[in-house]
Amino acid sequence: MVPANASVGEATALTIPAECAGLRLDQVLARLLPQHSRGRLQAWIKEGLATLDGVTVDEPKRKVRGGEALRLAAAPLPEQQAFAPEAIPLAVVYEDAHLLVVDKPAGLVVHPAAGNWSGTLLNALLHHHPGAAALPRAGIVHRLDKETSGLMVVAKTLEAQTDLVRQLQARTVKREYAALAKGAIGAGGTVNAPIGRHPTQRIKMAVVPGGKPGITHYRVLERLPGATLVECSLETGRTHQIRVHLAHIGHPLVGDPVYGTGQGRANLPAAARDFPRQALHARRLGLIHPATGQPMAWESPLPDDFTALLEALRHAAP
């Protein structure tokens, strides 16, 4: 029988129990290694990682007779691949021995997680700067949502990472975003509302009593048909903060698939209704250099899709 702690990632050897006679190989493995999904086990079999009595078997539907010596060769788990270097291009805005500032494109996940174990900014950082492997989260100190574009700072040393985290906690890191919100916002203001997990929809955040403090300042930059371009600056850095706060005041982001569904859609020109992501870009970043103590700041122009959206709205009928 298979030991209770058997796992894949290192080779696993076991004897197929007699009571499994007549079952498919993938069914047997699913019983003996329940910590892995059947789909994952089928993939490993197809890759030729399984042997029965020393003979490679690459058909998941192969029937077993019971009593065979089964060996499943070492197969890297997705979680183990999460911290592998990958040659993903990085738009480097600034770099020295202590920190790195990148302009993240929309569509790039920052940190590996379920469903995105590879192809992330973290994988790109490990390739660009191999020393990042010695740092927690490869030096990442803050995040942007997958579909949010713009500036991020990454530490290249443990000392710099500690200092940047402290700056974020002290709210001295300046982060300004361009956001296209639905509807007509009359004037600028501040949303001071606590943010926490949505009480019933667990993939969402929401303004909830007892949530963590959240403060977003916003000012109007341009009024457009069906929408308003605003600049948002953060005092706090809660998950989805700008998206949640603007939705909370009745002006969700154009293109937001989570917080903007249905709200104000009918009044938007077609270009905004069809925008495929939340219209949010981290355009300015300011901080104190962790080694020199000097204030530093960077700006990022709006990406092409955001610029094209604004132009389309400027030429749309009111």
Q: Tell me the helix, strand and coil percentages in the chain, rounded to 5.
A: 25, 30, 45
171-318 has the same fold as 12-75: no
pLDDT band at 263 (very low <50, low <70, confident <90, very high): low
pLDDT of residue 1: 37
pLDDT of residue 66: 92
Helix (H) or strand (E) holding 44: helix 38-46
Output the average pLDDT for the chain.
Answer: 90
User: Is the pLDDT confidence value at 74 over 90?
Assistant: no
User: Is the pLDDT confidence value at 267 over 80?
Assistant: no
Rounded distance between C-alpha atoms, residue 10 and residue 13, angstroms? 10
Do 167 and 142 contact (CB within 8 A), yes or no?
A: no
Superfamily of segment(s) 12-75: RNA-binding S4 domain (3.10.290.10)
Sign of CA dihedral 270, 271, 276, 277: negative
Q: What percent of the chain has pLDDT over 90?
A: 73
The radius of gyration of the chain from alpha carbons, rounded to an integer in Å, stands at 25
Do 244 and 198 contact (CB within 8 A), yes or no?
A: no
Rounded distance between C-alpha atoms, residue 13 and residue 109, angstroms? 36
Please state which of the ranges 14-28, 65-79, 107-121, 247-261 shows the lowest mean pLDDT: 65-79
| Residue listed under structure tokens 């371009």 | 229
For the chain, what are the domain ranges? 12-75, 78-169, 171-318
pLDDT of residue 201: 87
Please state which of the ranges 86-90, 235-239, 253-257, 269-273 shows the lowest mean pLDDT: 269-273
Which of the following is catalytic: 145, 163, 274, 304? 145
DSSP for 289-311, please give it.
Answer: -TTT--EEEEE-PPPHHHHHHHH
pLDDT of residue 5: 34
Q: Which CATH number fits domain 78-169: 3.40.50.150, 1.25.40.10, 3.90.226.10, 3.30.2350.10?
A: 3.30.2350.10
Do 157 and 115 contact (CB within 8 A), yes or no?
A: no
The alpha carbon of 148 is separated from its chain's Cα centroid by a whole number of angstroms, namely 10
pLDDT of residue 231: 98
pLDDT band at 97 (very low <50, low <70, confident <90, very high): very high
Rounded distance between C-alpha atoms, residue 250 and residue 216, angstroms? 15
The 10s digit of each residue's pLDDT in 187-220 is 999 999 999 999 988 789 999 999 999 999 999 9
pLDDT band at 85 (very low <50, low <70, confident <90, very high): very high
Beta bridge partners of residue 15, listed in sequence order: 69
Please state which of the ranges 26-40, 67-81, 154-168, 271-285 shows the lowest mean pLDDT: 67-81
**Burial (CB count <10 Å: 0-12, 13-18, 19+), residue 211:** middle
**Burial (CB count <10 Å: 0-12, 13-18, 19+), residue 261:** exposed
**145 is a catalytic site residue:** yes
Angle between helices 25-32 and 38-46 (to 10 degrees): 130
Q: What percent of the chain has pLDDT over 70?
A: 92
Average pLDDT over residues 272-297: 96
Judged by DSSP in three states, 52 sits in strand
The region that residue 263 occupies, defined by phi over 0 for left and psi between -120 and 50 for alpha, beta otherwise, is beta
Quote the Cα angle for 286-292-294, to 5°: 40
Name which of 193, 151, 176 is nearest 229 in CA terms: 176
Q: Structurally, what CATH architecture does the domain formed by 171-318 represent?
A: 2-Layer Sandwich (3.30)
